Amino acid sequence: MTFASVYPHYVAKLEKKGRTRQELHQVIEWLTGFNEHQIFKHIEENSTFEEFFKQASIHENARYITGVICGYRIEEIENELTRNIRYLDKLVDELAKGRKMEKILRSGQ
């Protein structure tokens, strides 16, 4: 599965809930270290999630992203790629639910 194929779904979900593309990029940058230019480069290159996360620098506080997403408890996912994808899914869900950015980015940990 490619990042480019899922990205429009993230945007649509967030915009429907009154959040912005810029907020999505802020969340992606926090998790991966990718700036907006790099995000669009991955979309342009049709990077798979494996390629996307292989080049990412996962934030050290990502380990504080916990809870259930798609029926799986994030902190129990052993496969690193799957866990990273679920981290991103969880952050997008929190953003869509109206959670404050400071909480989403686990800056107070």
C-alpha distances in angstroms, 32 versus 25, 36, 66, 78, 79?
10, 11, 17, 19, 17
Using 50, 70 and 90 to split pLDDT, how confident is the model at 108? low
Q: Examine residue 107 and state whether it is found in any structural domain, yes or no.
A: no
Mean pLDDT check: name the lowest of 19-23, 32-36, 75-79, 103-107: 103-107
Q: Examine residue 86 and state whether it is found in any structural domain, yes or no.
A: yes
Average pLDDT over residues 65-79: 93
Predicted pLDDT of residue 107: 75
Predicted pLDDT of residue 63: 94
Give the structural domain span for 13: 3-101
* Structural tokens at position 93: 């869900």
Model pTM?
A: 0.93
CATH number for the domain that contains residue 52: 1.10.8.290
Number of domains in the chain: 1
Predicted pLDDT of residue 70: 83
Q: Examine residue 109 and state whether it is found in any structural domain, yes or no.
A: no
SS3 69: strand
Alpha-carbon distance of 91 to 101, in angstroms, equals 10
Q: Examine residue 108 and state whether it is found in any structural domain, yes or no.
A: no
Q: Examine residue 77 and state whether it is found in any structural domain, yes or no.
A: yes
Q: Examine residue 106 and state whether it is found in any structural domain, yes or no.
A: no
Q: Examine residue 9 and state whether it is found in any structural domain, yes or no.
A: yes
Average pLDDT over residues 6-21: 97
Q: Examine residue 11 and state whether it is found in any structural domain, yes or no.
A: yes
